[in-house]
Amino acid sequence: MKKSFPPRIEIPVEQTWDLSPLIASDEAFFAGIAEVEQDALAFNQKYAGNITDAEAVVQVLTDYEQLYVKFVPYSAYASLSFEVDKTNDEAQMRASKFGSVASKVGSQLSFVDSDISALSTEILEEATAIAPQFKNYIHQIIKKKAYQLHPEVEKTLAALSSSFDAPYELYNTTKLVDMKFDNFTANGESFPLNYSLFEGDWELETDVNIRRAAFEAFSNKLREYQHTTAKTYNTHVTTEKTLSDLRGYESVTDYLLFDQEVDRTLYNRQIDLITTELAPHMRRYAKLLQKVHNLDKMTFADLKISLDPEFEPMITVEESKNYIEKALSVMGEDYMEMIEKSYSERWIDFAQNEGKSTGAFCSSPYGYHPYILISWTSRMNEVFVLAHELGHAGHFVNAHKKQSLFNSRPSTYFIEAPSTMNEMLMANYLLETATDARFKRWVISSIISRTYYHNFVTHLLEAAYQRKVYDKIDAGESVNANVLNRIKRDVLEDFWGDAVEITEGAELTWMRQPHYYMGLYPYTYSAGLTISTQVSHRILNEGQPAVDNWLEVLQAGGTKTPVELAGMAGVDITTDQPLLDTISFIGDLIEQLEALTAEIETSVK
C-alpha cells in the first residue's frame, strides 16, 4: 500500500537539491537582503530625478541591472527553500521577510522606468545607440509609454507588490498547508491521500475501483474549500482588471498579453483551433482507453490511465540519467555537461515529502545554475517530466551564457518551447529503440498521455476556461465557486462530447492549477509544443543544421519576439499551419495506437 509522505527532515540529503551555492546560511541571507535594501535606497538618492539625457539613461540602467543581479540569489533562496516544505515555519517567515524587503526595494527602484519614460523617444533611441545591450529594455519602455502612470502612483504600486501576490500565496497555503486529506476506502482497503499522491499515483492507478474512489475522495475534499479558493481567485483577477483599467488597456486580456509580445490573434488561435480540431482525435483516444481497459463507461477520472500499464517500467533516479543522456545527446557536448552536473551537483529535488509543492518546475536564477523541483514516483513517465524541466534549464544555461540579465528571458509565449522540445527528443529516442509492437505502442501512448495530453489538453482546457473567466471580468462581473464550476464543466463537456462522462467533481479541476495566478500562462504550453513539434521534426529530417539553429534560438534569450524566435527555428507561427500540422501529427499517432492495439490483440488470440 502507498504510504503518506514523510516530513522533510527525514528525507535523505541525496534526494534533495543543494541551495548552498545561492546562500551559505540564514545569517548570510538576512544580512544580504538588508544590504540590498540599503543599496536600493542609495541608488534612489543618486539617480531619482537626475535622468536627463542618453548618457544618464545608460549609466542608470548599468547600475540598475547590477543591483538586480545582486538581488537574484536572495530571491531564489527564499522561494526555493519554501517550495520544498510549506509547513516549515522558518521557511515561511523567510519568504515573508523577503517579500517585504522586495516590496520596499521595488518601491525605491520604481522611478527608473517612470523617469526614463518621461524622456523623448529621440533621447531613448540615442541611448540604444550608445549601449545596444539595453535596446530591448528601452524599446519596452517606449512601447509602455502610453500605459505608464504618474511616478508616485508607480511607486505606490511597487510598494504594494507583495499584496498583489497575496492571492497566490493564499491559494498555496490553502492547498498545501490547510487542506488535509483523510484516507479513502476501495475494495475493502484503506488508502492514504494527498495532492501529490493523487496527481502522481491515484490518477494513474490501474484498478478502476481504487482510481474512481480516490477521485471521489479528492473531489470531496476540494469541495470543502471551493468558496475560499474562489474568493481568493476572484480577488486576483479583479486586481488584474483594476490594474489594466488604471493603465488604460482595452481589456485585462490585452494587459496580460502585452508583455508576452503577442496579440489576441495568436492567443485565440491556440484555444480555438485546438478546441475544435483536436477534440475529435482525443475522443478517439478516450474510446481506445475505454476499450482496452474494458471499462463500463469512460469517465473524467479515467483519462490519465496508461494504455498498457503492465508494460510501463518503473525506473530509478539513477536509471533516468541514462535515458536522459541518450535522448538529449543530439544537443551536443555542452548540453551533456549540463545534464551531468544537474545530477552530480544536486540541482534536482527528487524527494516526496509533506508540504512540498506539487507538480514540477525549473527555476533559473541569473548567474547561478538552475534548480529543478520534481516529486519522483519511479514511473517511467517521470523521465518525460524531468526531460521537460531540463529543457528549461538548458534554455537558460544557454541564454545566461550569451545574454545580460535584462536580455536573458524571452516572452512567456515562447517559454515552454525548449522544455517541450526535450520531451519530443525523448519521444524520438524511444521510438528509435522500439523493437516490437507492444513497446512501440507504449512509447506512442506515453507521447500522447504525457506530452500532448498534458500540454495540449490539460493546459489548453485551462486556457479555454481562463478566457471565459476574463471575459466575465472585462464585462464588469465577478466570479464565485458556482460560476467557476459551471464554466469549467462547460469547457470539459464541450471538448469531450459524449466520449467521456464528466462526473461529479470534474468541475472542481479549476482549483488544482497555480498557473491561473500567473497571467495568461496555460495556453503557452500548447504554443511552445507547437513550435517544438515542428523543430523536432526538422532535427529528425535535417540533423545538425536544425540542432545548430535551435541552440542559436536558446542563446538569443529575450532579444527576439516569439515570432522572431520561432522564425529562427524555421517555424512561422503567424499562420495556422504549424498548429494544424501538429494536431494532424497527434491524430496520426492515435491512428498508430489503434492499429498497434489491433495487431497486439490479434497476436494474443
Mean pLDDT, range 174-193, rounded to an integer: 92
Considering the domain architecture, whether residues 79 and 152 belong to the same structural domain is answered as yes
In-domain check, residue 245: no
Q: Does residue 460 contact residue 525 with C-beta atoms inside 8 Å?
A: yes
Q: Does residue 202 contact residue 377 with C-beta atoms inside 8 Å?
A: no
In-domain check, residue 444: yes
For residue 605, the model assigns a pLDDT of 60
d(CA 543, CA 557): 23
Considering the domain architecture, whether residues 338 and 386 belong to the same structural domain is answered as yes
In-domain check, residue 509: yes
Q: Does residue 393 contact residue 370 with C-beta atoms inside 8 Å?
A: yes
Domain end call among 108, 141, 156: 156
Where b means 16+ CB within 10 Å and e means fewer, 422-436 reads bbbbbbbbbeeeeee
**Domain CATH for 489:** 1.10.1370.20
Residue 313 has pLDDT above 80, yes or no: no
How large is the C-alpha radius of gyration of the chain? 24
In-domain check, residue 366: no
In-domain check, residue 244: no
Q: What sign results for the dihedral spanned by CA atoms 72, 78, 82, 84?
A: positive
Q: Give percent above pLDDT 90 in the chain.
A: 82
Considering the domain architecture, whether residues 478 and 518 belong to the same structural domain is answered as yes
Considering the domain architecture, whether residues 213 and 313 belong to the same structural domain is answered as no
Considering the domain architecture, whether residues 205 and 113 belong to the same structural domain is answered as no
- Residue 100 CB: number of other CB atoms within 10 A? 13
**Domain CATH for 121:** 1.20.140.70
Report which of residues 5 and 12 the model is more confident about: 12
Q: Does residue 235 contact residue 167 with C-beta atoms inside 8 Å?
A: yes
Residue 1 has pLDDT above 50, yes or no: no
In-domain check, residue 351: no
CA angle, residues 548, 551, 552, in degrees to nearest 5: 90
In-domain check, residue 97: yes
Q: Which run of H or E residues covers position 398?
A: helix 381-402
Domain span holding position 325: 253-345+379-604
Considering the domain architecture, whether residues 152 and 189 belong to the same structural domain is answered as no
* Residue bearing cell 521534426: 537
Mean pLDDT, range 248-265, rounded to an integer: 94
- Residue 258 CB: number of other CB atoms within 10 A? 17
Give the distance from CA 223 to its chain's centroid. 25
Q: Give percent above pLDDT 70 in the chain.
A: 99
Considering the domain architecture, whether residues 192 and 150 belong to the same structural domain is answered as no
In-domain check, residue 447: yes
Mean pLDDT, range 62-84, rounded to an integer: 96
What's the mean pLDDT when you consider all of the chain? 93
Structurally, the chain folds into a number of domains equal to 3
**Which residue type occupies 194?**
N
Q: What is the DSSP letter of 375?
A: -
For residue 344, the model assigns a pLDDT of 97
Considering the domain architecture, whether residues 480 and 537 belong to the same structural domain is answered as yes
**Domain CATH for 189:** 1.10.287
* Residue bearing cell 478516450: 286
pLDDT in tens, 337-365: 999 999 999 999 999 999 998 889 999 99
Q: Does residue 362 contact residue 389 with C-beta atoms inside 8 Å?
A: yes
